[in-house]
A and B are shown apart, each in its own frame.
Chain A
Amino acid sequence: MFKEITLAITLGALLGFGLTGGYLASQKSKKTIRQPVPTPVLSETSPEPTSSSAINKITDDTKVIDTTSASESALIITSPKNEEIVANALLEITGTATPNSQIIINTSLKHYQTTSSDKGDFKLEIELESGLNNIQVDAFDPDDNQSTANFQVTYSTAKI
């Protein structure tokens, strides 16, 4: 009888320890699996996440994007290409400059004026003379900084 009672107590104690141990082990493993991935913190002194500072961060880290170079503010003619031949007397000139720049387009005989958009884009239709046309585009930003682009376009209906 004594042996049976001792065995029952021992079994009960072991079962109790087992259950407690099992519960604790399961809680630990659950925490390990479902723990949220910590969000990486860039640095203690990282600047306020404004868009410009974020871009500069990319520039500094990867040296891929150069948003602070003069190319952003300089005058770029996207169309037409230099020395292009066109078959239409009306030519649309498109390009980019500093936002809100005054754009002046000069040919040997005529001149045109427009303003670049808030994004810096501009588009202006000009009239070409037959044959070779020298075209000069001047952009004046709000601080009167001047950028100039010169190119040639030939207006010809001849089959080339």
Chain B
Amino acid sequence: MIFLLFAMFLLSASPANALVKIPTLLPKVEPTIEATPTATPTNTVSDDIQKIREVVSQKVKEKLMQIISPTTSKKSIAGKIIEVTDKSLSIEYHNETRALQLDPTLTVIDANRNKSSLAKLKIGQDILVLGIDDSQANSFLAKRIIVTDLSKLQIKKTVTAGKIVDISKTSSLLTLVPTHNKNTLFQIRMDSKTEFLSVSQVKIKQADIKSGHRIIAILRPDEKATKTYNAVRLIDLDYKPEPTPTKK
């Protein structure tokens, strides 16, 4: 009987199984929380989790956009005519043949910006086609065709960065060595149309450009001389304005 009472008491003393709590009999001892050994890795782990969440969220958004977004879009494509009839049109587009569907309301504009017709188009002509691109069906519905000389629209400028190694004192010529191609030399001719600017787009003088300076050059190739370029704009990366003297 006594042992039974003792066993019951022991069971009741365990808070997890307590039926009757007798806190007044027990001394109140505050639990001590030990200091965590390292706090910084906790931040790294939470940062890692945050990064993973962001990536997952981004992927979900992309997938949703793929599902929601329409597969058709207004687009303009340019190419050379390789086949044309009164009902079909094919162009060379990105080195491949692309057959275009023709909209019943198709408008054709000639090189002089006058209205024309499909029958007047010729093989070999450059055209710009405006229409509806269906990426899923891989089809293009042509709604407007404009005869365009694509060669005239090419960007014939060269942009390079390098170091000036020589500036002629007798003529407006400078020699530039590109930063990442030291085996190449650019002979650059400057003229009255050349713009001289600093990094902050402040206009500077031609005399401010000095040998040894790093520049970004927008150049137009000289059609008469190879490896010679006409400077359109020179941006001096090393230009520093001279301090203005202050009055005493």
Chain A residues with CB under 8 Å of chain B are 10-11, 14, 17-19, 21-23, 25-27, 29-31, 33-34, 36, 38-42, 46, 49, 51, 54-55, 57-58, 61-62, 64-65, 83-85, 102, 104, 106-108, 111, 113, 115, 131-134, 136, 138, 140, 143-146, 148, 152, 154, 156, 158, 160
With a CB–CB cut-off of 8 A, which chain A residues contact B78?
132, 152
Q: Is the Cβ of A108 less than 8 Å from the Cβ of B76?
A: no
Is B153 within 8 A of A108, CB to CB? Answer: yes
Since A39-B36, A132-B150, A144-B179 are in contact, a sample of 19 more A-B pairs with Cβ atoms closer than 8 Å, ordered by chain A residue number, is A17-B6, A21-B10, A21-B13, A22-B12, A22-B26, A33-B16, A36-B34, A40-B45, A57-B48, A83-B75, A83-B76, A85-B130, A107-B155, A113-B197, A115-B199, A131-B148, A131-B153, A152-B78, A160-B143
Say whether A132 contacts B148, CB under 8 Å. yes
Q: How distant is the Cα of A27 from the Cα of B13 in the complex, in angstroms? A: 10
* Stretch in B83-91, B156-164, B185-193, B239-247 touching the partner: B156-164
A84 to B75, CA, bound (A): 5
Can you list 24 A-B contacts (CB < 8 A)?
A: A22-B9, A22-B12, A22-B13, A25-B10, A26-B13, A26-B26, A29-B16, A41-B38, A42-B44, A46-B41, A49-B41, A54-B44, A58-B51, A64-B55, A84-B74, A85-B76, A104-B218, A111-B232, A138-B159, A143-B179, A144-B161, A146-B161, A152-B78, A154-B128
Question: Is the pair A146, B180 in contact by a Cβ cutoff of 8 Å?
Answer: yes
Q: Mark B35-48, 1 if CB is under 8 A from A, else 0.
A: 01111111111011
A50 and B159 CA atoms in complex are apart in Å by 38
Given contacts A19-B25, A39-B37, contact A55 B51 (CB under 8 A): yes
Within 8 A of A (CB), among B133-164: 143-144, 146, 148, 150, 152-157, 159-162
A160 touches B144 (CB 8 A): yes
Nearest CB of chain A from residue B224's CB, rounded to whole Å: 21
Q: Are B15 and A30 in contact (CB under 8 A)?
A: yes
Q: Find out whether the CB atom of A131 lies under 8 angstroms from the CB atom of B235.
A: no
**Closest-CB distance, A31 to chain B (whole angstroms):** 7
Q: What does the 1/0 interface line of B11-35 toward A look like (CB < 8 Å)?
A: 0111110000000011101010110
Which residue on B lies nearest to A82, using beta carbons? B75
Whether, in the assembled complex, B102 has its beta carbon less than 8 Å from a beta carbon of chain A, the answer is no
Contacts of B31 in A (CB 8 A): 30-31, 34
One of B5, B52, B74 near A160 (C-beta < 8 A): B74
CA gap between A113 and B201 in the complex, in Å: 8
Asked if B80 is an interface residue, CB under 8 A from chain A, the answer is: no
Taking the closest CB of chain B, its distance from the CB of A124, in whole angstroms, is 11
- CB–CB B199/A106 < 8 A: no
B68 at the interface (CB under 8 A from A): no
CA distance A40 to B232 in the complex (A): 61
Contact A154 B37 (CB under 8 A): no
